[in-house]
Amino acid sequence: MDTLWYFAYGSNLSVEKFTHSRGIVPLAAVVAHIPGWQISMSIPGLPYSEPAFASIEAMNATSLKEKQPDVQGVAYQITRAQYAKIIASEGGDIAYAQARLLAQVLNEADEDAVGGKTFHVLTLTNAMFKAFPGRPSFRYMDLVLSGAKTVAITPRYLHHLQTIPTYIQGTSARRKTGAFLFLLIWSPVMQLIEITVQYTVDLERGGVVPSWVKTFVRFLVSFMWYSHEFHAFFWGRGDGLDEHSDLELMDLQSNVCHSSDSRRMPWGG
């Protein structure tokens, strides 16, 4: 049987949720970390609802200086067909890019299962970038934390996840009105995108969508966030960035990326 190890770090941390929501029963599951990589809430979502989802990125000089923890998660041993279903459920290669990285088990008892202390995993990194990564929703982070508490990650890493700030929709009349107007326009568009992805994803080709779908969806999501910048000028931001009391424009500019339920996106982190 052709199998692989898939490394999950976001809402798929819970083995039970992974099994039930994805309909996938893994052959094995071990807790692991990926040295030199960190979790980041950098996958763009839907403003005012689900602004950001989890991804991972290579640590930079700042991360190393601040001694950010390596990303920890669960490595699932699955078949190629099951992996294709995961790719399909995460948007068919639109928002996420597949990466083969070297992971390490956290518990010595799991070394026999993976054939040593280190092993290769397939996981998901950014394929889409937002210049200023926003905050994940409380709903999404609750899923991540609920899963994290069911597996044997380190207390330090769990605390790191718990300190990630979340987006909470504003309660003023202006912010509520702004969120309503934006979602009135863009929620149906995102639902249409989700349907398009579901009908065009090809499990025989590894769970990816056709190139034209990928290009079209990326353009729409980029345009949506571009329109959000103008909308936010009048109604307040929908990504939580204006909730940082100490966040100045220069801080935002220094975080510009150097690369190219509630209301849902076709990917769920």
Which range of residues forms the domain containing residue 196?
3-254
Residue 182, number of CB atoms within 10 A of its CB: 21
Question: Does residue 102 lie in a domain region?
Answer: yes
In a domain, residue 134? The reply is yes
Quick count: other Cβ atoms within 10 Å of Cβ 64? 11
Active site residues: 90
Specify if 92 maps to a domain: yes
- Joined tokens for residue 209: 């969508």
Chain-centroid distance of CA 22 in Å reads 16
Walk along the chain (269 residues) and give the pLDDT tens digit of each residue: 689 999 999 988 887 778 877 788 999 999 999 999 999 999 999 999 999 999 999 988 877 777 889 999 999 999 999 999 999 988 888 999 999 999 999 988 888 888 889 999 999 999 987 777 789 999 999 999 999 999 989 999 999 999 999 998 888 999 999 999 999 999 999 999 999 999 999 998 999 999 999 999 999 999 999 999 999 999 999 999 886 433 333 343 333 333 334 446 665 66
User: Nearest to residue 16, comparing CAs of 7, 6, 26?
Assistant: 26
Residue 125: strand, helix, or coil: strand
- Residue 8 assigned ligand-binding role: yes
Note the pLDDT of residue 64: 76
140 is in an annotated binding site: yes
Q: 3-state SS string over 209-227?
A: CCHHHHHHHHHHHHHHHHH
CATH number of the domain where residue 180 is located: 3.10.490.10
Q: How many helices (H) and strands (E) does the chain have?
A: 9, 7
In a domain, 78, yes or no: yes
Query: What does the pLDDT read at residue 251?
Result: 41
In a domain, 259, yes or no: no
φ, ψ dihedrals at 5, nearest 5°: -105, 125
Note the pLDDT of residue 125. Answer: 94
Q: Is 10 annotated as a binding residue?
A: yes
The whole-number pLDDT of residue 245 equals 37
What is the structure's pLDDT at 246? 38
11 is in an annotated binding site: yes
- Which pLDDT value is given to residue 248? 39
Cβ 167 vs Cβ 216: under 8 Å: no
What pLDDT shows up at residue 36?
A: 94
The answer to whether residue 243 sits within a structural domain is yes
Tally of domains within the chain = 1
Look at residue 262 and tell me if it is in a domain: no
Q: What is the per-residue pLDDT for 19? A: 82
Residue 145 lies in a domain: yes
